């Protein structure tokens, strides 16, 4: 029978002791369980990539994944333009059908 205990330490940091081996939650994603380490495999890979590329990693995350005010404004304009084009094409189609029915 396995000896399993849940321990709680400061700052809501939990770890489980299974047969007296420490099992931690990943400090980055807080989802995966780690044995004797702070980071799970996926988060460790991200950390390694960050260490390899340094500031370039931060720039890519900031420019590609996060939106600033200008990016939000551009996205709103794109969506409004798409809606406007759909409405205009529907109106043109309706006008063509009306003309065809009149003739």
CA dist., res. 60 & res. 55, Å (int)? 9
pLDDT tens, position by position, for the chain (103 residues)?
Answer: 444 444 445 445 555 554 445 667 888 888 887 777 788 889 899 999 999 999 999 888 888 777 778 877 888 888 888 888 888 888 988 888 888 777 6
Sign of CA dihedral 40, 42, 46, 52: positive
Strands laid side by side in the 21-25 sheet: 4-9, 13-18, 21-25, 33-35
CA dist., res. 30 & res. 3, Å (int)? 23
* pLDDT for the residue numbered 12: 53
* pLDDT for the residue numbered 51: 92
């Amino acid at each position: 029978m396995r000896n399993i205990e849940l321990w709680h330490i400061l700052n809501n940091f939990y770890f489980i002791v299974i047969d007296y081996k420490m099992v931690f939650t990943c400090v980055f994603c807080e989802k995966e369980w780690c044995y004797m380490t702070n980071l799970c495999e996926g988060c460790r890979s991200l950390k390694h990539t960050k260490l390899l590329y340094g500031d370039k990693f931060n720039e890519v995350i900031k420019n590609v994944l996060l939106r600033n005010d200008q990016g939000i404004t551009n996205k709103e304009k794109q969506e409004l333009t798409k809606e406007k084009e759909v409405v205009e094409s529907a109106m043109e189609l309706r006008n063509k059908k009306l003309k065809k029915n009149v003739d």
